[in-house]
Structure 1
Amino acid sequence: MQTPTELIELQRLIDEGGTHLGARVLCEVDAAATAGGQRLPVIAVTLGNPAPDIPAVGFFGGVHGLERIGSAVVMAHLRSLVMRLRWDESLHRQLDGVRMVFMPVVNPGGIARGTRANPQGVDLMRNAPVEAQDRVPFLLGGQRLSASLPWYRGPAGAPMQPESAALCRVVEDELLARPFSLAVDCHSGFGLRDRLWFPYAHTRAPMAHLAEMDALHGIFQQSHPNNRYVFEPQSRQYLAHGDLWDHLYQRASALPQRLLLPLTLEMGSWLWVKKNPRQLFSRHGIFNPLIAHRQQRVLRQHMALLDFVARAAASWRRWLPTPDARERHGQLALQRWYGAAAPP
């Protein structure tokens, strides 16, 4: 089995970034379902100010091995930063005020095998110790019946998979160690629209920091008024067990003076299929733009989003609602996303 091209490109970027980048191998995973074969690294890359009082932003991709476009979007942003480090003085000033973390290839075994799950058959986005508080869609919401079926959560009571645990460890070490952090996890495969989902996935109740999420939504709409993203809680679409970002948001909320606002970019891959129906006959075509110019368009489109998220993290004190404004933001958010009042 060949090493995924994403890992080769990531190592090339690490080499080109030189002393500006930090890189560590979080774990190595088997490329096959059985041990003893090729081992693939799960790598985290960091740049920017490591001081603990500095805000942080994390970019994640490749949690689902079939959704290679997610890795491509995160890698394109990292590549742009590495190239700009050579000449862009404004970028160096920005990096003095923010810590950036990249995990473009969270599930290298799934990418190598061309599967949504990791080589053990576990869907990493259903693998956290979080149980949905209401009925979830059959299979889609996470199941423990069999690794041969999609959306398998893993055995009950078992530790998280090495890839899931590695992502959580990076978030805890790099994001939750700081007073404020944002995260974007890039996926594809749901509908005809690009969506920005935020917690929760396991309950229809609003998150505790709904006012802060509304403020983030507000500055995004103001600075990118022509964007086509649907910004909403994931629970408006479906509930699921084991969501990693629900788990990490809850961990952050339990820590004093820590705020994590995680977003999931769910790229609407059905649009690519609609434009090129032949993609239905390819397992990768359901989740990725297979035509070169469409892939380039997707990468260009989402670069502005990732750049915005980094700038929002660095400038968090300028837009986060004051105590007096929190109630207004909270009420606006309840009306926009949940109706006139919070759900029971």
Structure 2
Amino acid sequence: MPNNVLPELQALEQIIELGAGRLQSRVVRQVPVAGGHSFPVYAITLGNPDLGVPGVGFFGGVHGLERIGSEVVMAFLRNVVQRLSWDAVLNRQLESVRLVFMPIVNPGGMWAATRANPRGVDLMRNAPVDAKQKAPFLLGGQRLSAGLPWYRGPAGAPMEAESAAVCEVVQTELLSRPFSLALDCHSGFGVRDRLWFPFAHTREPIRHLPELHALQRIFLEAHSHHPYIIEPQSAQYLTHGDLWDHLYLQACTEPQRTFLPLTLEMGSWLWIKKNPRQLFSRNGIFNPLIQHRLQRVLRRHVTLLDFLARAASSHRHWLPASDARDEQLTAAMADWYPEGGR
């Protein structure tokens, strides 16, 4: 295989070609890698472009080693594209929602089989947000060296091209709307699948906690046997430079705007437990390598992405009204901040 070929990128371009005429795609950035090559960072959109309708964004491949995140997003994108020619219900749904996909945010890191981008920067530690309380050494983000994991990049430097690409797409396609959701797909934390929401830089609850609790409620009503632990990321650890904290804080500058970013953290330790030999493969630490397990993971999570698209398009039916927010807030605090937040 030529050293400038990335199979996941080829698969994404095949989906784009399959949806020609029914979706829009653009290259947000070109990312240079060793050898004089470069890879595009694609953004794909479909559905109603009217800024009055809600939007939902799906992101993957922020960490180059976590290919399964890209696989999940591309599986849902392919599912949607293949249904467009015959699914009347889906086409009606797309009249009331905008779908946004960035399946491979970090193609250079994926090509090099590294968590960071080609410049050694961890894109999820790269935003200009500092933890308010003590973050774990190294894991929470560090500026010591690009040779160590979780490197934030030099202090005061512009955001990396890939991080800036995500921010550009979120700002133009999601934050420009009264209501939007986002899901960023990762792997590598524990044996359980988790759905995290901000904050990662502080243990304080976010402003839209009632809305998140209402979203959890309708998800539980529709999926009583789901596999997820739903919690703030701060329940596990704090970090500097979280990209979704940064974008959420930007969204909060407009009080009438509701933006609910989620992170799917797939529990890759379970795959290692079932197949310990994966420990000897860099990709195997973060991805299911056996085909039937990969297919099972895709089936497991594509349902979640479909739910979020439906929830966004129907948000007026489940968002708490002003007189119900206090009740939702009380329930959310009891579920997620039993000590009151701090």
> Shorter-chain TM-score: what band?
over 0.9
Task: Tell me the distance in 2 between the aligned counterparts of 1:19 and 1:172.
Answer: 25
1:203 CA drift (Å): 0.1
1:19 CA drift (Å): 1.2
Q: Which residue identity does 1:287 align to in structure 2?
A: F
Task: Tell me the distance in 2 between the aligned counterparts of 1:256 and 1:330.
Answer: 17
- Percent of pairs with identical residues: 65
Deviations 1:13-61 (A, max 9, x none): 11110111001100101122xxx71011011000000001000000000
Deviations 1:126-151 (A, max 9, x none): 00000000111110000000000000
Structure 2 equivalent of residue 329 of structure 1:
328
Structure 2 equivalent of residue 182 of structure 1:
181
Task: Tell me the distance in 2 between the aligned counterparts of 1:2 and 1:71.
Answer: 19
Task: Tell me the distance in 2 between the aligned counterparts of 1:258 and 1:23.
Answer: 26
**Where in structure 2 are the equivalents of 1:127-142 lying within 5 Å?**
127-142=126-141
Please say which of residues 312-321 and 1-10 is displaced more in the overlay: 1-10
Structure 1 equivalent of residue 311 of structure 2:
312
1:12 CA drift (Å): 1.0
Deviations 1:281-339 (A, max 9, x none): 11111100000000000000001100000000000000000111100110111111110
Task: Tell me the distance in 2 between the aligned counterparts of 1:172 and 1:3.
Answer: 30
Task: Tell me the distance in 2 between the aligned counterparts of 1:169 and 1:187.
Answer: 20
Structure 2 equivalent of residue 49 of structure 1:
48
Task: Tell me the distance in 2 between the aligned counterparts of 1:158 and 1:205.
Answer: 27
1:3 CA drift (Å): 2.1
1:343 CA drift (Å): 2.1
1:168 CA drift (Å): 0.4
Structure 1 equivalent of residue 223 of structure 2:
224
Deviations 1:205-263 (A, max 9, x none): 00011000000000000100000100000000000000000000000011242110000
Question: Contact (CA 8 Å) 1:66, 1:110: kept in 2 or not?
Answer: yes
Question: Contact (CA 8 Å) 1:3, 1:40: kept in 2 or not?
Answer: no
Task: Tell me the distance in 2 between the aligned counterparts of 1:266 and 1:9.
Answer: 23
User: What is the alpha-carbon root mean square deviation over aligned residues?
Assistant: 0.8
Task: Tell me the distance in 2 between the aligned counterparts of 1:123 and 1:275.
Answer: 28
Structure 2 equivalent of residue 262 of structure 1:
261
SS at structure 1 position matched to 2:116 = coil
SS at structure 2 position matched to 1:298 = helix
Structure 2 equivalent of residue 4 of structure 1:
6
- Which of 2, 20, 23 is 2:22 aligned to? 20
SS at structure 1 position matched to 2:31 = strand
1:198 CA drift (Å): 0.1
Deviations 1:56-115 (A, max 9, x none): 000000000000000000000000011001111111000000000000000000000000
Q: Which residue identity does 2:72 align to in structure 1?
A: V
Task: Tell me the distance in 2 between the aligned counterparts of 1:53 and 1:229.
Answer: 31
SS at structure 2 position matched to 1:182 = strand
**Where in structure 2 are the equivalents of 1:179-328 lying within 5 Å?**
179-328=178-327
Q: Which residue identity does 2:125 align to in structure 1?
A: R
**Where in structure 2 are the equivalents of 1:23-38 lying within 5 Å?**
23-32=25-34, 37-38=36-37
Task: Tell me the distance in 2 between the aligned counterparts of 1:166 and 1:228.
Answer: 31
SS at structure 2 position matched to 1:18 = coil
Q: Which residue identity does 1:299 align to in structure 2?
A: L
Q: Which residue identity does 2:21 align to in structure 1?
A: T
Structure 1 equivalent of residue 341 of structure 2:
343
**Where in structure 2 are the equivalents of 1:76-91 lying within 5 Å?**
76-91=75-90
**Where in structure 2 are the equivalents of 1:114-133 lying within 5 Å?**
114-133=113-132
Task: Tell me the distance in 2 between the aligned counterparts of 1:271 and 1:9.
Answer: 26
> Structure 2: 5+ residue runs without aligned partners?
none
Q: Which residue identity does 2:185 align to in structure 1?
A: C
- TM-score between both structures, scaled by the size of structure 2: 0.98
SS at structure 1 position matched to 2:108 = helix
1:342 CA drift (Å): 2.3
Task: Tell me the distance in 1 between the aligned counterparts of 2:230 and 2:33.
Answer: 35
1:2 CA drift (Å): 2.8
**Runs of 4+ displaced beyond 4 Å:** none
Number of positions where the alignment pairs a residue of Structure 1 with one of Structure 2: 340
Q: Which residue identity does 1:178 align to in structure 2?
A: R
Task: Tell me the distance in 1 between the aligned counterparts of 2:4 and 2:78.
Answer: 23
Task: Tell me the distance in 1 between the aligned counterparts of 2:272 and 2:290.
Answer: 11
SS at structure 2 position matched to 1:96 = helix
Deviations 1:166-208 (A, max 9, x none): 0000000000010000000000000000000000000000001
